Structure 1
Amino acid sequence: MAWRSLLPWRCGCCVRSAGGEGRYITFIIDPLQYVSLTKLNKYLEFEEFADNISSRIFNYPSILKGNFPDLSENVHRNYQYLKGKSLDALSDSMIKNLQCIFKKRFSQATDWETEKMNKFCFSVMFEASFITLYGRDPSADGHNVVDAIGDKFTKFDANFSYLAANIPIELLGSTKRIREELIHYFLPNNTSKLLGVSEVIQARKDLFEMYEVLGDYDKAAHHFTFMWASVGNTIPAIFWTTYYLLRHPEALAVVRDEIDHLLQSTGQETGLGYSIRLTREQLDNLVYLESALNESLRLCSSSMNIRIAKEDFAFKLEGNQEVSLRKGDFIVIYPPILHMDPEVYEDPKKYKFDRYVENGKKKTTFYKQGKKLKYFLMPFGSGSSICPGRFFAMIEIKQFLVLLLTYFDIEVVGEKEVGHDKSRLGLGILLPDSDIDFRYRLRPAPKARPPPSSEARCL
């Protein structure tokens, strides 16, 4: 489908644009209409659209059109392992792995060391995410997953927007070869060697084994898809949250003080060798950290919420208006319109780390035209397309920041500003258009006694 700039029809609630193949794309621009759209599941679909794009990008057979009875339903059922007790176990494993990586790589950083911030965030989080989900190679002998596939992953990710736009992969240089190499890394004979696989990944492995028509390459492609989904937006979100905090020292001071207070109140030592454990509830109570994270997401998230009409119907709007949709027409919510609406967010282009805090508690009431909005922040999508890993994503971003701000003094080097890479518009968290230098050193431990050797033990 080709997009045009032509806007032949407009009202106060939505904009309609002419598309290719005789289709229309209707953008819902009034956030008060979002609730009405979520009630139209009878007439709208997303799953087939997502399956077509994902199977094309990651090179596995369509799970809806192939001979895979109930595979789609079973894959979605597998997301239960990203909630409840399974989420607690996953989160506990993540913070342990993050601490091991920080200890292994940075325990000697007593003097200032300078690195590229985005590269730093990627190397730590990619390794921690892989180990947490897929397990650790016992024979690696210091060789981490970033060394093995990190650079290839970055190169593939750089062309993700072109693949999503249906640009033939053959026109994207070495991207096809890189994709095959990444998929091969997830072949069963490779991942079977890893120890400590997470519950969610083990369940996916068991599920794929039930389908004999799925070849090893297809299974590996599904695992690569899951890995990309786990870090493709989380890592840039970590970069932006860190970047905005360092660019606003008053925000950094408040967030760091909140974290220090929590750790002190729970009697936890904070030196790099000590083990820090935080429950979901404790992380949830870090209201200024969460507000700073949400404000970063407001400024850098760019996902489109897309639905396709399954049949002809009329979408009724406020003010006795309606939009006639035909089968195959697209209807789209583009949350950045909401996120940058000055009626919803005062001075929306400005970073305000405490925008989501009111009287020391989380602020969840925002208004449009005097009416309370049900949807005021939408970085994870909505309805049937909402990110199933959103809870884990929020937890691991908070864990990374808690450890980073607890272990290190950090600051930006120079006055360079980083902008958004607009090539990812509509596809998730925007990437930075360049990297930036920052420096870090270990914070002095509050107590001089050495940490117990049994804590924060890394395999």
Structure 2
Amino acid sequence: MLLTLIFVLLLIFFLYTLVRQFKGASNTSLPIPFVKNGCLPIIGHLIPFLKDKSKFIFECQRSYGSRFFIELFSQRMIFLLDPNDWSPVIRNPNLSLPVKDFGTKTFGISRGFLDDEPIMNEIHRYFKLYLQSTESLDFLTARFSKCVRDVMIQDRARIGCHVWHPYSLLELSHRMIFEASGRTLFGDINPLLLEKEFLLFDKKFHYFASLLPDFIYSLFLRREMDARSNMTAYFNAHPHSDNESELVYHRAKRILEAESRQPNDLGASQTSIFWASVGNTIPATFWSLFYILRDPHALQKINEEICTHLPPFSFSDPNDKSFEFWTSGNIAKCVYLESAINEVLRIKGTPMVSRKCYQDTQISLADGTMIPVRENDMVSLFPEVMHSDPNYFPEPEIYKFDRFLGKTTDTIKGFLTFGSGKTICPGRHFAKNEIKICTALILQNIDYEFLETNMNISCVKNRVGFGIAPPDCDIPIRYRYKE
């Protein structure tokens, strides 16, 4: 295996050298600086980029300003960090999210199926219809509330009332969301059957989503690929379930009807939805609880509005319908909760908004600079830089739960957490409701104590760039259910 890897790397180096000789060095063809530090033959800046994106990009900004470019293998990646330069990128029709590359490399969906434009357009329409309309969103939100309540009933029966149970904050967030979200979308399945595979795949998700050469996955990520295959096989074997959401029902039905579908495309597509529903909401809930539970003023304000707008559930009455009042409208009335979670997304939301160039084009930046972008280049925005800029967010290092009070996040310059333009996350409203509901129900029904005073934790560094990165270590707590 080692000899094979050495041979492959030597072959790539030879081909890389030939390409560079014929095409010329790409780092001299743009009116913005090329990052020289950390660039190696063949792989370019891959090592520092994958190891710690935030550190690498912040260092590049300090050395080169808000515009620079790097190389990953033979691909140029142009970074534009100033929000004044974002609009031309988002609106350029020749720059698009590499959805097909992402779907194939990350989840194993066949390229032929992803190339079926009528099917893809119809599936995209389902997202809009069943995740963004008020009626559908209210239904999913209320159903998720009920599913979290069901998880709490089981958990309460397991550990009893008034009994302190040692646990950890990330485990608690995972326990409350993983099963509830799976049942909300996919109906009467048992998400816990997928838990082991999900955790294994999710831990290395950033490598799949980085769109690396195929040989890296087959050589170094076999266990994770097997875990992904097991999830795919599960959803292939369960195309429909009782009480599944309209989104999942109509997607599965249309995929099964598609002539372009390959045998694993249904399961792979459903796996992508399953991961999307929990992959970021679990760490986002962890960070929300981490900050809110340690801020007495935030706790007071948020608890007051939860008591006012969101009725408590009964854990003993099977006919209790209180969850029906946990609608998007009522949740939106909890303005301090909304602001507190937006502040978490500002501090810990680390998406990298990237667009791939599918046809040579130009970007006209705010100061009139023209950036020629060639086919296969990537253009990336990294909002974390602006989220940490005191010119946009005063005292950015301090968590202020009321920072976003009375503000509409869509209009705040430099604040970008769910993507943008046509490819903005279609499930952002439901995902945010999941975080709010889980946080509110924990505050409403659970007493807690932190077991350690050392709270010096950070994000998993190599997960930065893909939404909300999980913590690099968990926080030990103990909890018990209130009466």
TM-score (normalizing by structure 1): 0.84
Alignment check: 8 A CA contact 2:89 2:379 kept: no
Matches within 5 A, 1:48-447: 49-63=98-112, 68=116, 70-79=118-127, 80-84=129-133, 85-107=135-157, 108-137=160-189, 144-146=190-192, 148-165=193-210, 166=212, 167-187=216-236, 189-192=237-240, 194-263=241-310, 268-269=311-312, 271-273=314-316, 275-276=322-323, 277-357=325-405, 362-364=406-408, 374-417=412-455, 418-444=457-483
* Range moving further from structure 2, 326-335 or 233-242: 326-335
Q: Is the 8 A contact 2:141 2:326 kept in 1?
A: no
- Counterpart residue number, 1:32: 84
Spell out, residue by residue over 1:190-239, the C-alpha distance to the aligned partner (whole angstroms, 9 max, x if none).
344x3211100000111112114424422111111111111111111111
- State whether residues 97 and 128 of structure 1, in contact with CA within 8 Å, keep that contact through their aligned partners in structure 2: yes
User: How has the CA–CA distance of structure 1 residues 70 and 295 changed in structure 2, closer, same or farther, with 3 Å as cutoff?
Assistant: same
One-letter code aligned to 2:227: I
One-letter identity of the residue aligned with 1:133: L
1:12 Cα offset (Å)? 5.7
1:63/1:71 contact within 8 Å kept: no
Q: Matched residue of 1:247: which SS?
A: coil
Cα distance change, pair 391–269 in 1 and its aligned pair in 2 (3 A): closer
**How far apart in 1 are the matches of 2:470 and 2:273?**
19
Letter aligned with residue 403 of structure 1? L
| 8 Å contact kept, 1:307–1:330 | yes
User: Which whole-Å deviations, capped at 9, do the CAs of 1:47-102 have from their partners, x for residues lacking one?
Assistant: xx221122122112025665x35222122112121121222211121111111111
Output the CA distance in 2 between the equivalents of 1:9 and 1:434.
29
Structure 1 CA distance for aligned equivalents of residues 80 and 44 of structure 2: 16
How far did residue 393 of structure 1 move? 0.5
Q: Is the 8 A contact 2:352 2:466 kept in 1?
A: yes
**Separation in 1 of the partners of 2:191 and 2:113?**
32
Describe the superposition over 1:277-324 as per-residue Cα deviations: whole angstroms up to 9, x where unpaired. Answer: 222111111111011111111111111111123333332223332222
Query: Relative to structure 2, which stretch is displaced further, 68-77 or 391-400?
Result: 68-77
Asked if 1:45 corresponds to 2:84, the answer is no
Count matched residues: 416
**2:186 partner amino acid:** Y
Distance 1:92 1:20 in 2: 47
> How far 1:375 sits from its partner (Å)?
3.8
The CA RMSD over aligned residues, in Å, is 2.5
Match of 2:68 among 3, 6, 15: 15
Question: CA, structure 1 residues 332+184, in 2 after alignment: closer, same or farther (shift >3 Å)?
Answer: same
Per the alignment, residue 450 of structure 1 pairs with none
- 1:125 partner letter: I
* Counterpart for residue 32 of structure 2: none
Letter in 2 for 1:164: A
- Secondary structure at the aligned position of 2:79 is classed as strand
3-state DSSP class of the match of 2:166? Answer: strand
Task: Kindly provide the amino acid, as one letter, of the partner of residue 441 in structure 1.
Answer: R
What CA distance in whole angstroms lies between the structure 1 residues aligned with 2:375 and 2:366?
A: 23
Contact between 2:351 and 2:467, CA under 8 Å: does it hold in 1? yes
- Do 2:80 and 2:380's aligned partners in 1 also have CA atoms closer than 8 Å? yes
Distance 1:330 1:217, change over 3 A: closer
Larger displacement relative to structure 2 (297-306 or 211-220): 211-220
Equivalent AA in structure 1 for residue 272 of structure 2 = T
Alpha-carbon offset, residue 176 of structure 1: 2.3
Closer, same or farther: CA 110–203 of 1 in aligned 2, 3 Å = same
User: What secondary structure, in the 3-state scheme, does the structure 2 residue paired with 1:303 have?
Assistant: coil
Distance 1:243 1:36 in 2: 37
Return the offset for 1:386: 1.0
- Specify the SS of the correspondent of 1:72: helix
Unpaired stretches in structure 1, ≥5 consecutive residues: 138-143, 367-372, 445-459
User: Which residue identity does 2:459 align to in structure 1?
Assistant: H
- Answer yes or no: is the 8 Å Cα contact 1:247–1:412 preserved in 2: no
Counterparts of 2:112 and 2:140, CA distance in 1: 27
Greater shift after overlay, 156-165 or 243-252? Answer: 243-252
Q: Write out per-residue CA displacement over residues 137-166 of structure 1, whole angstroms, 9 at most, x where no aligned residue.
A: 4xxxxxx432x1212211110011122232
**Structure 2 unmatched runs, 5+:** 1-41, 49-55
Equivalent residue of 2:326, what SS? coil
Change (3 A) 1:98 1:312: same
Cα distance between partner residues in 1 of 2:467 and 2:339: 19
CA distance in 2, matches of 1:70, 1:175: 32
TM-score, with length taken from structure 2? 0.80
Q: Give structure 1 regions of 4+ aligned residues with deviation exceeding 4 angstroms.
A: 5-13, 63-66
AA of the residue aligned to 1:45: S
Corresponding residue for residue 15 of structure 2: none
